[in-house]
Amino acid sequence: MELTALQIGLLVALGGLAVINIVAFIAYWMDKRRAQKGYWRTPEATLLLLAFFGGAPGAWCAMRVFRHKTMHWKFRILVPLFTLLWVAGLGYAVWYVNWG
């Protein structure tokens, strides 16, 4: 089976999303460590932007694993919302590329 240009584009996009999720996970982990040590912190806006631009699943996992930012309403609401939007968008993209 030969891949179409749309399928190749989708695979590239999925690879990019994998990278940004890893970056988001590491950013949340580093911010947690810095908070524990009293060092300079990553701005909340930066952490939320990482989630908004595709790193929401990685950010959400990091929030749970490291128990970081779980009490801040912005993070408790926005990160799961961004995750839901990205999963829905990816689901639609996969459907469109293969059957649409």
Band (1; pLDDT cuts 50, 70, 90): confident
Closest CA to 59 of 93, 90, 84, 92: 84
Q: Is the Cβ–Cβ distance between 13 and 93 less than 8 Å?
A: yes
Reported as a single tens digit per residue, the pLDDT across 11-36 is 999 999 999 999 999 999 999 999 99
In a domain, 68, yes or no: yes
Global pTM?
0.92
In a domain, 48, yes or no: yes
Chain centroid to CA 69: 15
The length of the chain in residues reads 100
Reported as a single tens digit per residue, the pLDDT across 80-93 is 999 999 999 999 99
Q: What is the DSSP string of 9-31?
A: HHHHHHHHHHHHHHHHHHHHHHH
43-72 mean pLDDT:
97
In a domain, 3, yes or no: no
In a domain, 43, yes or no: yes
Number of domains in the chain: 1
Angle between helices 5-37 and 56-66 (to 10 degrees): 30
Band (100; pLDDT cuts 50, 70, 90): confident
* Structural domain for 45, as ranges: 15-99
In a domain, 1, yes or no: no
In a domain, 10, yes or no: no
In a domain, 30, yes or no: yes
In a domain, 31, yes or no: yes
Q: Is the Cβ–Cβ distance between 49 and 27 less than 8 Å?
A: no
